């Protein structure tokens, strides 16, 4: 079979696979149906604060296996559903991020920075359009790269990144986030280290739960999703309650729902103007996605930083610039396609979503993510390659679905931005507490939730950014594992992180980022302070 026939066989396997039912004699393949079902599930789930794509995938995989069984015919419907959820959740995650400053998925965190201020100006419709356009463009680009480069790129990337380089790269990404987000790199670093410390409670490889001080409540460690929801959402709710209380105390009217702006469309010309940001972010997201073990949160951060650098518009980043939303969404969405490069060619996931695709393939059998997938054998048929092209078709089909209905579905949620704060805040509180309890059904969850809500509130009062804390909570486990593994593999060499040129380069960059950003901020401060001092002296 020549390569073109493999592609054709893959496309046919997706559209003409086992049929679920027939309409007017036309068989509807269950793979097509499952992509649609997955996309809708992911979009609605992603738009619900506290529900993540990973959560939806974890819950649905066992049910899918039960329904479709363990034959190779089950591969495309099951993986199609998971791909649908992955794509739907990425787009959906932007909705609560923009409307409520509540990222539905962790990768949408950076979207809040500009999406929410836009929402407050009454431009939620525009922000959602920007997010959707950027997200789908980034996603489609990334998928195209996956289809064309997967076999070659994977081998190259994996060749250069060992345990040591992975550890150094995570350190670099943490220092990036700490330095760039918030008013001062030092406050950012404090938040990041606090996150690492919290994440190290009762984790690690000891059978004894470290740092738990023999207490019952800390034995199982800090529940990650509860901590994140607590700091990010409940902390914000507390701060908003305080604001409402003060407003009432000062006998001022309670702050009303944001005004409705007339500027909620997204013209072709505006789309064209966003393209440079989207393209740069899509390339960044695709590169990050192709690195095994590094997820979309880092891509979103790097995309945002790159966009920040390029931006010269009148609305600055972080104050509601559409370019900020576009840069973030294009970057985090373009991870998912490229992420399948290491998954399909080496069997190594780069994000949580990809983990479930591997599990599905493992449980069903007949498709073994690894170098064998991309073997274009001419003499005999390689069924795995056909499945791979079937999966690519499923991804493209989900993209087309996203282009056609994704935007409308997203904006259907836009109506929620007009709900007044007095009604919205208790709803967010209830929804978040429900999400926390659903994921971890015990009363201790609420103890953690309120403790982290208080922490989030205090951090807001002290102007310490919460984002570095949250991201270091997520990356702490990966970092610890990578460091431990790099150390063991080096045979207990104390300078293990400095033995490879690439890892040294990453570490130097990590220090440079903090130093340079601190200097620039100091410089800015001096510049702004100088006229004031002069004025005072005069």
Partner 1 sequence: MAHFARTFAAASALSAALSLGAQAETPTLPWTPSGQITMMIGFQAGGGADSLARVLSDALSATYGWTVVPENIAGRGGAAMAEALKKEPADGLTIGFTVSQSLAYDPQIAMIPTYGLEDFDFLSSVTGSQVGIVARADRGWKTLGDVIEAARAGQKISFAAMTQQLSDGTYVIGKHNGVAFTSVNVQGGRGGVNAVMAQDVDIAWAGGTQASSVSSGDLVNLASGEATPLIMSPDAPLLSQYDVPYDFGAKFLLIAPAGLPEEVKTSLEQAVAGLLNDPDSALHTLTVRNFSGPEVVQGAALRAAMQQRYDQATKLIDDAAE
- DSSP designation for 102: -
- Choices 63-71, 85-93, 187-195, 320-328 (CB under 8 A): range interacting with partner 1: 63-71
Q: How far apart are CA 105 and CA 323, in angstroms?
A: 20
Does 362 sit near partner 1 (CB under 8 A)? yes
Least distance between partner 1 and beta carbon 33 (Å): 5
The secondary structure of 196-250, three-state, reads HHHHCCCCCCCCCCCCCCCCCCCCCCCCHHHHHHHHHHHHHHHHHHHHHHHHHHC
Position among 292, 322, 390, 407 found at the interface with partner 1 (CB under 8 A):
292
Query: What are the backbone dihedrals phi and psi of residue 29, each rounded to the nearest 5 degrees, phi first?
Result: -70, 145
Instruction: Count helices and strands (H / E) in the chain.
Output: 21, 2
- The rounded distance, in Å, linking the Cα atoms of 83 and 78 is 9
The answer to the question of residue 115 lying near partner 1 (CB under 8 A) is: no
Comparing CB distances to partner 1, the nearer of 447 and 489 is 489
Q: Which of 247, 355, 429, 454 binds partner 1 (CB under 8 A)?
A: 355
What sign has the CA pseudo-torsion 432, 436, 438, 439? positive
CB 281 within 8 A of CB 289: no
Q: How far apart are CA 197 and CA 181, in angstroms?
A: 19
Q: Which of residues 437-456 bind partner 1 (CB under 8 A)?
A: 441
User: Using alpha carbons only, how large is the chain's radius of gyration in Å?
Assistant: 24
Q: Does position 358 bind partner 1 by CB under 8 A?
A: yes
Compute the C-alpha angle 93/81/388, nearest 5°: 110
Could you tell me the CA-to-CA distances from 487 to 204, 315, 475, 479, 520 in Å, in that order? 15, 46, 18, 12, 35
* Residue with smaller CB distance to partner 1, 220 or 270: 220
**Helix (H), strand (E) at residue 27:** strand 26-29
Is residue 502 within the footprint of partner 1 (CB under 8 A)? no
Identify which range of 233-241, 301-309, 323-331, 358-366 contacts partner 1 by CB under 8 A.
Answer: 358-366
Q: Which phi-psi region, left, alpha or beta, contains residue 464 (left: φ > 0; alpha: ψ -120 to 50)?
A: beta
353 binds partner 1 (CB under 8 A): no
State the minimum distance, in angstroms, from the CB of residue 396 to partner 1. Answer: 18
Which x/- pattern, by CB under 8 A, does the window 230-269 give for partner 1?
----------------------------------------
Nearest approach in angstroms of CB 448 to partner 1 is 15
Binders of partner 1 among residues 457 to 496 (CB under 8 A) are 481, 484-485, 488-489, 491
* Residues in 23-42 that interact with partner 1 by CB under 8 A: 28, 30, 33-34, 36-37, 40
Pairwise CA distance, residues 437 & 312, whole Å: 44
Q: How far is the CB of 172 from partner 1 (least distance, A)?
A: 19
Q: Of residues 160-189, which lie at the interface with partner 1 (CB under 8 A)? A: 162-163
User: Of 37 and 395, which CB lies nearer to partner 1 in the complex structure?
Assistant: 37
Phi/psi for 318 (5° steps) reads 90, -10
If the CB atoms of residues 318 and 477 are measured against partner 1, the closer one turns out to be 477
- Supply φ then ψ for residue 376, to 5 degrees: -80, 80
Q: Does 22 bind partner 1 (CB under 8 A)?
A: no
- Contact segment (CB under 8 A) with partner 1 among 62-70, 233-241, 279-287, 513-521 equals 62-70
Q: What residues from 382 to 411 belong to the interface with partner 1 (CB under 8 A)?
A: 384, 405, 408-409
Alpha helices of 232-321 — where are they, by DSSP H? 235-249, 268-290, 296-310
Which stretches of the chain bind partner 1, using CB under 8 A? 20-21, 28, 30, 33-34, 36-37, 40, 57-59, 61-62, 65-67, 69-70, 158-159, 162-163, 202, 205-209, 219-221, 292, 346-348, 355-356, 358-359, 361-363, 365, 367-368, 370-372, 384, 405, 408-409, 441, 481, 484-485, 488-489, 491
């Amino acid at each position: 079979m020549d390569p073109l026939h493999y592609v054709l066989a893959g496309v046919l396997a997706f559209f003409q696979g086992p049929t679920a039912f027939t309409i007017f004699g036309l068989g509807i393949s269950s793979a097509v149906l499952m992509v649609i079902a997955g996309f809708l599930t992911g979009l609605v789930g992603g738009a619900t604060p506290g529900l993540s794509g990973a959560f939806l995938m974890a819950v649905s995989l066992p049910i899918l296996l039960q329904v479709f069984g363990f034959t190779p015919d089950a591969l495309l419907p099951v993986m199609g559903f998971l791909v649908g959820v992955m794509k739907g959740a990425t787009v959906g995650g932007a909705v609560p991020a923009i409307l409520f400053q509540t990222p539905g998925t962790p990768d949408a965190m950076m979207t809040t920075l500009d999406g929410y201020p836009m929402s407050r100006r009454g431009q939620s419709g525009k922000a959602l359009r920007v997010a959707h356009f950027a997200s789908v463009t980034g996603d489609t680009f990334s998928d195209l790269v996956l289809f064309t480069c997967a076999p070659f790129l994977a081998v190259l990337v994996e060749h250069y990144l060992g345990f040591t380089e992975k550890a150094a790269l995570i350190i670099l990404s943490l220092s990036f986030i700490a330095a760039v987000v918030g008013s001062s790199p030092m406050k950012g670093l404090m938040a990041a280290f606090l996150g690492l410390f919290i994440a190290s409670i009762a984790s690690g490889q000891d059978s004894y739960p470290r740092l738990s001080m023999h207490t019952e409540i800390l034995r199982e460690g800090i529940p990650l999703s509860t901590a994140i929801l607590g700091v990010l959402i409940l902390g914000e709710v507390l701060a908003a309650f305080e604001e409402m209380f003060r407003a009432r105390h000062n006998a001022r009217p309670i702050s009303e729902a944001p005004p409705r702006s007339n500027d909620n469309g997204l013209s072709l010309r505006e789309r064209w103007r966003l393209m440079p940001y989207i393209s740069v972010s899509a390339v960044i997201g695709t590169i990050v996605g192709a690195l095994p073990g590094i997820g979309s949160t880092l891509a979103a951060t790097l995309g945002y930083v790159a966009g920040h650098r390029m931006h010269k518009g009148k609305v600055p980043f972080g104050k509601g610039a559409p370019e900020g939303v576009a840069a973030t969404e294009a970057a985090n969405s373009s991870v998912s396609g490229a992420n399948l490069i290491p998954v399909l060619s080496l069997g190594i996931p780069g994000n949580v979503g990809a983990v479930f695709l591997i599990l599905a393939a493992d449980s069903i059998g007949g498709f073994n993510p690894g170098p064998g997938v991309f073997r274009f054998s001419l003499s005999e048929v390689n069924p795995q390659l056909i499945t791979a092209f079937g999966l690519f078709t499923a991804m493209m089909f989900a993209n087309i679905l996203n282009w056609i209905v994704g935007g409308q579905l997203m904006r259907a949620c836009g109506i929620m931005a007009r709900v007044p704060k007095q009604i919205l805040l208790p709803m967010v509180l209830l929804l978040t507490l429900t999400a926390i309890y659903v994921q971890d059904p015990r009363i201790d969850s609420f103890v953690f939730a309120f403790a982290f809500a208080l922490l989030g509130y205090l951090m807001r009062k002290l102007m310490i950014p919460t984002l570095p804390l949250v991201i270091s909570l997520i990356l702490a486990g990966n970092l610890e594992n990578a460091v431990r593994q790099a150390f063991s593999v080096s045979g207990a060499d104390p300078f293990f992180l400095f033995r490879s040129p690439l890892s040294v380069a990453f570490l130097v960059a990590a220090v440079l980022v903090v130093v340079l950003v601190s200097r620039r901020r100091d410089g800015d401060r001096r510049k702004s302070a100088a006229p004031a001092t002069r004025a005072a002296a005069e």
